[in-house]
Structure 1
Amino acid sequence: MQWQGLNELREKFLSFFESKGHTRMDSASLIPQGDNSLLLINSGMAPLKKYFLGQATPPNVRVTTCQKCIRTPDIERVGKTARHGTYFEMLGNFSFGDYFKTEAIEWAWEFFTKVLELPVDKLYVSVYEQDDEAYDIWIKHIGVAPDHMTRLGKEDNFWEHGSGPCGPCSEIYFDRGPEKGCGSPDCKVGCECDRFVEVWNLVFSQFNSDGKGHYAEMEHKNIDTGMGLERLACVMQGVDNLFEVDTVQNIMQHICRIAGITYKEDPKKDVSLRVITDHVRSTTFMVGDGVTPANEGRGYVLKRLLRRAARHGKMLGIQEPFLYQVAETVIHENENAYPELAEKKDLICKIIRHEEESFAKTIDKGTELLNMFLDRVSSDSLSMLSGADAFKLSDTYGFPLDLTMEIAAERGIKVDEDKFRELMEQQKSMARADRASKVKTSWSNESIADISAPKTEFVGYTQMSCGAKILGIFADGKQVDSIREGDVAALILDRTPFYAESGGQVADTGEIVGNGAFAVADVKKLESGHFMHMGSLEDGILKVGDEVSAQIDADRRMSIMRNHTAAHLLQAALRQVLGDHVHQAGQLVNAEHCRFDFSHFNAMTSEELQAVEDLVNRKIFEALPITMQEMPIEEARKLGAMALFGEKYGNIVRVVSMEGFSTEFCGGTHLDNTSRVGLFKILSESSVAAGVRRIEAVTGTGVLKSYQEMQQRLHFAASALKLGNPLELVERCTAMIAELKEKEHQIDALNMKIADSQISGLFENAKEISGVRVISAFFNGTGADMLRQMGDQVKDRLDGNIVAVFAGMNGEKGTFYCVCGKEAVKKGAHAGKIVQRVSAITGGKGGGRPDSAMAGIGKQYMVDEALAALDAIVGEMLGSAAN
């Protein structure tokens, strides 16, 4: 048994199964493709589900993969233990109706004992208690000693999720030695201690379950095995956990260098090191597959992992963004197996850094909110922070309970841990229920029906119409032989010019005409390769087997192609103007406009937008020829073709090139020359998510329509201002703004005179409390700026021995403004605390500095009551200061 690196083990496994006739498939993206039951790929089998279900044809009946996986149910335990992690790689070999138990067991044993040379006496095997077939193969065919075999129950050794394919499992364990055990004489496979480590799980899918306890033997049985790469590396390297495996330890050592610490010197710091190490691995791979930070879905998972890692960085004393630097080490350690990481390195690091910087602001907000909660507890003479407040800090701001408790303890305040844990458990229960509901449907076939007809031939790249034959008709969720006038249905043809919605391009519309006229409203392509033409029969009768003519709406298709071609020109222009970090993050191309989402971290300036628009139009005017050709993916990459970020492609890809300016992988429809786009006009640029911007643009007739609408608006505006010529609008608007500003200055001056007279009257009735003069007043029609000016005027009167609170309403918005003179502050007055308590009476919030502070008015009808409480609040504050 020789030490072997993680990368070496991955290659040995895949090469071994290639030698057994398996096709090596690249790891699928962490973003599930065509599977809404998962947020992120969490097992080696998940991307291959469509092959097990017969929804798609695998490249071979034997397949082997090393699949990137993310699992987050135990995220709170990551770091606290040395065995939990969110990112891992799953090795697997799969058979789709080909070999079964004998070969799967034989090859697993050969790989362990011959290739890796693991000691036979260290290997133990478990089988399902009723699986005599697997038991006999291990004993009689392989020669495993009976005392190294264990039979386990359904909970441990039977793979099943709801209804669908299922079957018994056989697991291979490695004995790490009695020193790793619990010391019990009964210690054996299945014990909860760390002695026997499960390394490889062989699943024999031989039954079809109805989910109600009934199991039918399947005609075509499958093999699905899974072995954690990091766990295998632990065994081969003789280390205790995944964080000590070579590639993972190299990542941790980078963090140690940044923090200036050493692993295994301080248990608390070790927790943080493990959290950061695991989470930066997860986030690097997630961003590399196209996930961006968001407030829901997989984007929220990414954000949570990044923020949790950044917070633990702060706990190690790292104040500046650093995760993006560690991501470079993650990429370096994995780029041989996953070259896309190196290709996307700049973008990955930019997205991670941007989120780190964003979190730096958020954590400050969380601290501010916590202090506000604690101030409220203190002011109400309580001794405990509510569990609801602690949970809000944890759930919304990523503030862990232990940090909340530590800060609260410094102020002598406890935290309601029981309520916090109750709320946390409620959240986890909902998450578990959600996951369970998704698992039950994860093996469901979402195709409209089982279709035995040949795949649909797509001819729409070169033809707008074609003759075809109806192979299948579906109505009301079932297959039928014919449809009549008024029926809503879906048709399958043997060939079609209709483009099915894909890659952000909408589907074609048009007609299918034979003995009846069928209006096509939408087209979907199934995993099986069949095109579903959805719509309604406007007249006549259509039957299965009818010869028909399929005709797309040619004018609409041309508009779509103009916008799709413009999207390619736009991406190339954005990369020239903004930089190579720009990648497509999504798009919608229809007949009306082009909507393009791309990676960028700042709003584009008007100069940048103009430069991009000018460059696209220049390439349109240059009349660049457009070529579309299919080629092997490696050849396409040599041409420098850009791939869709996070997308996975087959061995043969379609490449769209616009002579020397843009070369992209694309399955959509395009023009044959850029000149046919006509014109290109950007309508808007906006934010979609952190690090993702969106441009909406029009082409061709869309530009003319936009121009005509703008002309109409200019004429309406000119008419409203009683101008005969719209060209005079700029001068007239400039003059009006100047007039309005002058009138605002006059109004402000008059208001100040009125306020001065009112304030002078207030001093005559000012109350003296503990040697400080206190005044208050309400001003209707007065905004925050005016209140600030009034407050600043009185702050220095009476030698600064004054406290004043002014309330103002401007429309529906109300404001309190409090000022305290220098002498009043010395005696204990604090404007921030005063205005906070005054506004709280109305249901408002606010605060600020000791000398000036502002707060909102909640219920306007309670303003008088709030101002009436001012004297008591000031008296209490000054009295406390005196004591």
Structure 2
Amino acid sequence: MQTHEIIKRFREHFERNGHTVVPSASLILDDPTLLFVNAGMVQFKPYFLGEAPAPYKRATSVQKCVRTGDIDEVGKTARHLTFFQMAGNFSFGDYFKADAIRFAWELVTKSQDEGGYGFDPNRIWVTVYQNDDEAIELWQKLAGLPPERIQRRDGLDNYWDMGVPGPGGPCSEIYYDRGPEFGKDGGPIADEDRYMEIWNLVFMQDLRGEQSPKYGHPPIGVLPAKNIDTGMGVERVAILLQGVDNIYETDLVRAVINKAEELSGKRYGDNEVDDVRFRVIADHARSGIMIVSDGVSPGNEGRGYVLRRLLRRIVRSSRLLGITEPVLGTFAQVVRDEMGPSYPDLVTGFERTLSVVQAEENAFLTTLTAGSRIFETAAGEVRSAGGTVLPGDKAFQLHDTYGFPIDLTLEMASEQGLKVDEDGFRKLMAEQRARAKADAAARKTGHGDKTVYRELLELGATEFTGYQELDTEATVRGLIREGQRVRSAGEGEIVEVVLDRTSLYAESGGQDSDAGLIVADGVELEVVDVQKVARKLWVHQVRVRHGEVVEGQHVLAKVDPEWRVGARQGHSGTHVVHAALRQVLGPKALQSGSYNKPGYLRLDFAWQGGLSPETRSEIEEVSNLAVRKDLPVKVMYGTIEDAQRLGAIALFGETYDETVRMVEIGGPWSLELCGGTHVEHSSQIGPITLIGESSVGSGVRRVEAYVGMEAFQYLAQERALVQNLAGMLKVPDAEVPARVEALVERLRVAEKELDKLRGAQLLSSAGTLADAAEDLGGTFLVAAAPAGVSGNDLRTLAVDVRGKLGDKPGVVALFSAADDKVSFVVATTAAGRDKGLAAGKLVPVFGPAIGGRGGGKPDLAQGGGTQPGGIPDAIAALRTEIQK
């Protein structure tokens, strides 16, 4: 049974049983605890946590997931992988254990002719939490499982929670016996290779505290409503239904390996070394392409860094298989063709995906060349010192800076007859992982105690009236100070205020929150910030200016009208600039992030390479033409399917409700899903002036612009600047560029003349210094701190003095002091080196006197220090050393 059919049967089974089919969420969600979605329940977390009411009682989904904790282990076994699909069914206070077990058993064992998977019931085993007698009884009653095929396990295996205080519960896991050829008898507790887990049923009934029941700590309470969260591994089911040994031989994964075989001329299964490389390519191609498709671009931190490692490991593994041509675009096409039937976005957004991965491959090939040079240098140093082991810090530098996995460094070292200090490397890697884990632990605070908001959510969502009015009458539902509900707040306090209705926009969709006031008789609250909790609750952070605000009080929420005018201009301007980018550059220039506030906007978009001045001018002109045309701005509502049918642009990583809001400017020219506030006609945006364009990551550019009065003020400042320059240069405004260019050229000529004079001066001083050389028993020392000479001139002078010494044994040591720092250059003549005087070895002799260090070759060394006052002592130390 093909993987797409496995997915189709899962969805249809639960849809027949009253579940709402929910599409897979993006791998990128607004969740502070996760880099990527790593489980099927992640998009439902607000419902399980009680932060928001669930829009359905039961749901089913097939979620794309990425787990990156074991990237370096992928390929070494047939079990490790980063990308997988998790099929799940979920109940939010509806059914519980009995139905969860019944639904799973029916799908797993029902014949394939009847729409099931057709697994042999006699080969099914289950595990349950150690004291869950109820689950054991239900498996016996509903599935007819004999007691000997039901095994109890402790919390480490059969208790689930989210790793932070919140909901949790015991698990029951379904296993399939693959047969004695895969391992020993005895059920899952004896051998989990033979008995493969395919489905985990979580009976979410507990409220855990700081300590998890997984480790024997009792729950701190019981959930008011019992929930079900299950996860069936799609790839694991495919292994069994396709009769293969591991995930890499299933249909969707094997297709990537087939392409790698075709490109390399090698065969998977011939030898383990190459098999590791095939597996890396197959797994990372799927995870990398899916991540790019969801809007991530390679970078040096966070998600971008993980993506970069994945893509570069594909390129590296391909090279080791002997593939010399670019590969990422080819593998991306295979992933698109294989995964597209389940994830249509892979197909519709493929142009951007292809552009991103090809650019990253080109960048890595350049980096690979640079990294190889670093390796060659390090290897040369080891060999010249008579060593055979590349230091661990060098291997780590290659890994961390240049993306070289350790196995690539090991292979390169082996080719040169060297070994690598793997222990040292792994120690540094462990330190890095420890820092990453500490960071991950810190992230988990993002799902701390939300009880205070949960109570307010139960009263209903905040009604946002800001599309229709600036002033809204409201009631204070709650006051929060430092995470706790309070009854009142007085003058000078900063608290959070939750209203039943508000006209103040909460920060979202790139638009900054509104400024304004919340007032009542004798009470004035300055609104500092507005944020959403669970996408339904508007939380106003306020400073109490006057009076006392009390829970239950009737108030008036007032938006600053000037702020709102500028905010509307900024957000509508963002849409116009986005449309202009797509018109000028083409449809691949898709927005990947934005921020706007009154008078200002910035927009990140997918693009390779900087924009020329002519292109920037064209984008600015198209934007302002749209403003001048006074295009109508229309707001429409519909389903996400309606929006897709109309061609509305949705932003990567955003989560949308069943009903979406679309903003259209000038018809289909600009049509985007958006919840922000906007002008009514494009002319109300005012002038748009681009003020900057830059790179913010591989394949991502950023444009910034002023709009409205801020754009006018910016242009006025530019005009004043030109007029001031014209006045200083005594030319008309139009002639300022030519006059400045002429002045710059004159300055360049003058600097060249100065360089010539400086060189002549250095040559003359070189002779003077050489003539003053001090004879120390047949070895001549020139040690001085010439005034006004530093940097490259100091080096040039030292070499010139050495030349003046001719065939005499000699040492030249010149120092330069400036700003509490000292730099130095040491040069030795050939006759001096014959007497054992090496410049590099003389540095440690005088270095401590100036608090410095440096190094170099026997003929020339240089460095710096922090104690200019020690120069006389440094010269004395040199003199003593030479006299020895």
Residues 71 and 743 of structure 1: CA distance in aligned 2, closer, same or farther (over 3 Å): same
Contact 1:206–1:221 (Cα < 8 Å) also in 2: yes
Match among 61, 69, 74 for residue 65 of structure 2:
69
**How far apart, CA to CA, are the structure 2 residues paired with 1:776 and 1:403?**
48
Report Cα offsets for 1:417-475 as digits up to 9, x if no partner: 33333333333344445545656875642764621323221111121222223333333
Is it true that 1:404 corresponds to 2:412 in the alignment? no
Deviation at 1:495, TM superposition (A): 1.9
Q: C-alpha displacement at 1:84, in angstroms? A: 0.7
The alignment status of 1:676 with 2:684, answered yes or no, reads: yes
Q: Which of the residues 40, 53, 57 maps onto 2:49? A: 53
Number of the residue aligned with 2:472: 466
Query: Structure 1 residue 705 and structure 2 residue 713: aligned?
Result: yes
- Partners of 2:257 and 2:182 in 1: CA distance: 24
Report if the CA contact (8 A) 2:198-2:236 is conserved. yes
Q: Deviations over 1:107-136 (max 9, x none)?
A: 111001111111112211122221111111
Per the alignment, residue 877 of structure 1 pairs with none
| C-alpha contact 1:377 1:385 (8 A) present in aligned 2 | yes
Distance 1:796 1:258 in 2: 59
1:73 positional shift: 1.6
Q: 1:89 to 1:762 in 2, by over 3 A?
A: same
Task: Encode CA deviations 1:650-687: one digit per residue, 9 max, x unaligned.
Answer: 32111111123211111101001111112110011111
TM-score, length of structure 2 as denominator length: 0.86
Report the Cα distance in structure 1 between the residues aligned to 2:644 and 2:446, rounded to whole angstroms: 38
2:193 counterpart residue number: 194
The residue identity in structure 2 corresponding to 1:171 is: E
1:791-811: CA deviations, max 9, x gaps? 9999999xxxxx999999898
CA contact (8 A) 1:779 1:806 kept: no
Quote how far apart the aligned CAs of 1:323 are.
1.2
Please list, as runs of the form range in 1=range in 2, the aligned pairs for 1:402-801 lying within 5 A after superposition: 402-409=407-414, 411-435=416-440, 442=447, 444-445=449-450, 448=453, 450-451=455-456, 452-515=458-521, 516-527=523-534, 529-660=536-667, 661-717=669-725, 721=728, 723=730, 729-754=736-761
1:262 Cα deviation from its structure 2 partner: 1.6
Q: Does 1:29 align with 2:31?
A: no
Q: 1:205 aligns to what? A: 204
Q: Map Cα deviations across residues 14-38 of structure 1 (whole Å, 9 max, x no partner).
A: 11101100011111111122x2111
Shift of 1:547: 3.0
**Alpha-carbon distance change, 589 to 112 in structure 1, aligned in 2, over 3 angstroms:** same
Are 2:41 and 1:42 aligned?
no
Query: Structure 1 235/425 Cα, relative in aligned 2: closer, same or farther at 3 Å?
Result: same
Q: How far apart are residue 199 of structure 1 and its match?
A: 0.7
Q: Counterpart of 2:130 in structure 1: which amino acid?
A: E
Contact 2:767 2:801 in 1 (8 A): no
Instruction: Give the gaps of 5 or more residues in structure 1.
Output: 767-774, 798-802, 848-852, 871-883
Q: Following TM superposition, by how much is the alpha carbon of 1:233 offset from its aligned partner in structure 2, in angstroms?
A: 0.5
433-442 or 282-291, which moves further after superposition?
433-442
8 Å Cα contact 2:799-2:827 kept in structure 1: no
Give me the whole-angstrom Cα distance separating, in 2, the residues matched to 1:276 and 1:254.
10
- Give the 3-state SS of the residue equivalent to 1:645 in structure 2: coil
Q: Is the 8 A contact 2:38 2:66 kept in 1?
A: yes
Instruction: State whether residues 491 and 532 of structure 1, in contact with CA within 8 Å, keep that contact through their aligned partners in structure 2.
Output: yes
Deviations along 1:205-227, one digit per CA (max 9) or x if unpaired, are: 12222345233343411111111
SS of the equivalent of 1:389 reads helix
Partner of 1:876: none
Structure 1 CA distance for aligned equivalents of residues 861 and 703 of structure 2: 39
Q: For 2:35, what is the secondary structure of its paired residue?
A: coil
Do 1:623 and 1:673's aligned partners in 2 also have CA atoms closer than 8 Å? yes
Letter in 2 for 1:195: R
| 2:305 pairs with 1:300 | yes
In structure 2, the partner of 1:180 is 182
Verify the 8 A CA contact 2:798 2:825 in the aligned structure 1: no
Partner in structure 1 of residue 882 of structure 2: none
Moved more, 62-71 or 404-413: 404-413
Partner of 1:150: 151
CA distance in 1, matches of 2:839, 2:359: 36
Q: In the aligned structure 2, how far is the partner of 1:622 from the partner of 1:116? A: 60
Q: C-alpha separation between the residues in 2 aligned to 1:374 and 1:245?
A: 42
Aligned pairs, number: 844
Give the counterpart letter for 1:214 in structure 2. P
**Residue type matched to 1:22 in 2?**
H
- 1:250 CA displacement: 0.7
Please report the RMSD computed on the Cα atoms of aligned residues, expressed in angstroms: 3.9
Partner Cα separation in structure 1 for residue 444 and residue 491 of structure 2: 41
Superimposed CA distance per residue, residues 792-847 of structure 1 (whole angstroms, 9 cap, x where no aligned partner): 999999xxxxx999999898897989999xxx9xxxx9xxxx99999999855789
Q: CA deviation at 1:190?
A: 1.8
Q: Deviations over 1:170-215 (max 9, x none)?
A: 1111111111114xxx542222352110111111112222345233
Deviation at 1:763, TM superposition (A): 11
Which residue is 2:113 aligned to?
Answer: none
Partner of 1:88: 84
**How is 1:274-293 mapped onto 2 (pairs within 5 angstroms)?**
274-293=279-298
Matched position secondary structure for 1:240: coil
Q: Which residue of 2 aligns with 1:371?
A: 376
TM-score, normalised to structure 1, is 0.86
Q: Could you tell me how far 1:782 is from its partner in structure 2?
A: 6.9
1:757-803 Cα deviation digits (max 9, x unpaired): 6788999999xxxxxxxx99999867888899999999999xxxxx9
Q: 1:337 to 1:740 in 2, by over 3 A?
A: same
The question of whether the paired residues in 2 share the 8 Å contact of 1:16 and 1:111 is answered with yes
Residues 49 and 443 in structure 1, CA contact (< 8 A), matched pair in contact too: no
Residues 766, 800 of structure 2: 8 Å contact kept: no
The C-alpha deviation readout for 1:45-96, integer Å capped at 9, x for no partner, is: 2221111111112221101111111111222210010111011111100111
Residues 245-303 of structure 1 show CA distances to partners (whole Å, capped at 9, x for unaligned) of 10111122112222222211222111111111111111111111122222221221111
Q: Secondary structure at the match of 2:547?
A: strand
Correspondence 1:18 to 2:22: no
Is the Cα contact below 8 Å between 2:590 and 2:606 reproduced in 1?
Answer: yes
Are 1:329 and 2:334 counterparts?
yes
Letter of the 2:77 partner, please give it: T
SS at match of 1:450: helix
User: Which residue identity is paired with 1:134?
Assistant: A
Distance in 1 between residues matched to 2:154 and 2:754, nearest whole Å:
85
Write the letter of the residue equivalent to 1:258. Answer: L
Q: Secondary structure at the match of 2:455?
A: coil
Query: For the structure 1 residues 816 and 403, does the alpha-carbon distance in structure 2 shift closer, same or farther, using more than 3 Å as the test?
Result: farther
Equivalent pair of 1:164/1:211 in contact (CA under 8 Å): no
